[in-house]
Every structure is written in C-alpha cells, then in structure tokens.
C-alpha cells in the first residue's frame, strides 16, 4: 500500500515501539492517531511527532467506541489499525500464579486487541480493504520460566491473528502478526521510564521498519507473520 495520506490508528503510541512506528509512518506521509492512557505523555509525543493524540484505554469498551468516533471525525475513515498497546507483569511460576493478575493483563493484551480489531474489521469488510497489525512477541513462539501470564497472552494474540487472517482474506483485508524480540523500552517499567538502548539489542526503529515494510508491500500480498531478532544479543 501507499502510506502517503493513509489513515492509521495506533494504540500504545506514546512511547517505545509505538512512538517509533508513529514517527516512521508520519515520515512516510501517513495521518496517524496515537492512543494511550497517559494524557500528558500522549500530548507531548503527539506534538513532537505531528501525530493526532486521543486518550483512550483499550480495555474499556467506551474508550474504544470513542476512539473510532474520533477517527471518523478527524480522518474520515480508516486504512490501518495497529494493535500495539500492551502491558507486562512480574514473572510468576505456576505455583505463584494469580488469576486476577492474568485477567488484568489479558484485558489489555488480548481483549483490548479484540475490541479494537472487531470495529476495524467491520469498517474494512464494508470497504473491501484494510490492514490490521498485531504486535505480539517472540514470547508468542516459545514460553519461558515465569512467563505463564505474559507469554500466554501473546500466544493468544498470535492465534487471533491467524483466525482473523482466515476470516478476512476474502474481503481483501490483510492481517499481520509481528513478533519483536527484546527491545529496551519503557515496557513494564514502574514509571514508564524509557530504558537505555543496548549495543547488541534491537531498537524500536527496527520494529517500526518491519511494520512499515510489511505495509508497503503491494496489496495483492501480505506477510502473515514476521519475527524480528537481534543478530547477536549475547
């Protein structure tokens, strides 16, 4: 697709991967609405990038509905949804698991993505075109010790991507599942403070590049799943 003037909603767009994606998409000429829960941070990043801010929590249906009403008002339509909003949790082994912690994380990482994608799919089916990008994780490919909650949420998102691909291809709607490996960001930081980049680790820009490259493929094709690893992370 041609990203110039593309109408994009990007959840979790005020830091880390989301901020890098928003910048690269805007540099390509796209119109990008970024959402997030922290109003102050959202406005600051939007001003810096030239994005359109909208405060919203994907775990709240009323906020999701308001996001799409705002999108229609500001952009007059939608071409791309990027489900990037996500939270982490502490590492708990099976004997320490708290189901309430699991539900809280799933409300954002899984159910939030479902809430956003359901409305986007209705729009895209009607117009017979559109793109949904789910930002999962390499934790969706392999579990790890203490990762029952987070890893399973990303496995769930990956499974949703595959199901939506099967359902939406006939309507010319592309669904991409992106699996970043570890990237030093504010993710899972208590005060959402950005971590310093590391020489041997991925950067947010590399994930943004993968997303942009996938979207820019001619609409006749799409990449169902793309995993991005650091060359030598050790």
Q: Which residues are catalytic?
A: 150
DSSP state of 24: H
Contact 15, 37 (CB under 8 A): no
Burial group, residue 13, by CB count within 10 angstroms (0-12, 13-18, 19+): buried
Residue 216 burial by Cβ neighbours in a 10 Å radius (0-12, 13-18, 19+): exposed
Side by side, the strands of the sheet bearing 31-36 are: 52-55, 31-36, 7-11, 80-83, 130-135, 173-180, 225-228
CB 215 within 8 A of CB 175: no
Q: C-alpha distances in angstroms, 87 versus 84, 153, 221?
A: 10, 10, 31
Beta bridge partners of 133: 82, 176
Residue recorded with tokens 């050790």? 234
Q: Which residues contact 64 (CB under 8 A, 6 or more apart)?
A: 56, 58, 112, 115, 116, 119
């Amino acid at each position: 697709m041609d990203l110039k003037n593309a109408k994009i909603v990007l959840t979790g767009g005020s830091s880390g991967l989301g901020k890098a994606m928003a910048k690269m998409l805007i540099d390509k000429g796209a119109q990008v609405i970024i959402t997030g829960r922290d109003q102050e941070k959202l406005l600051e990043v939007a001003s810096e990038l030239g994005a359109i801010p909208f405060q919203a929590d994907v775990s709240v249906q009323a906020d999701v509905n308001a996001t799409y009403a705002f999108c229609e008002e500001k952009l007059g339509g939608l071409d791309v949804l990027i489900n990037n909003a996500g939270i982490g949790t502490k590492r708990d082994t099976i004997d320490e698991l708290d189901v309430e912690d699991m539900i809280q994380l799933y409300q954002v990482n899984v159910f939030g993505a479902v809430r956003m994608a359901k409305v986007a799919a209705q729009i895209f089916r009607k117009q017979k075109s559109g793109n949904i990008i789910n930002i999962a994780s390499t934790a969706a490919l392999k579990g790890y010790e203490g990762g029952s909650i987070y890893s399973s949420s990303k496995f769930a998102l990956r499974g949703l991507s595959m199901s939506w691909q099967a359902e939406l291809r006939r309507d010319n709607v592309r669904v991409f599942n992106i699996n970043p490996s570890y990237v030093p960001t504010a993710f899972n930081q208590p005060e959402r403070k950005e971590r310093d980049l590391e020489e041997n680790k991925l950067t947010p820009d590399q994930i943004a590049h993968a997303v942009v490259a996938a979207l820019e493929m001619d609409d006749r094709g799409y990449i169902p799943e793309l995993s991005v690893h650091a060359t030598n992370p050790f």
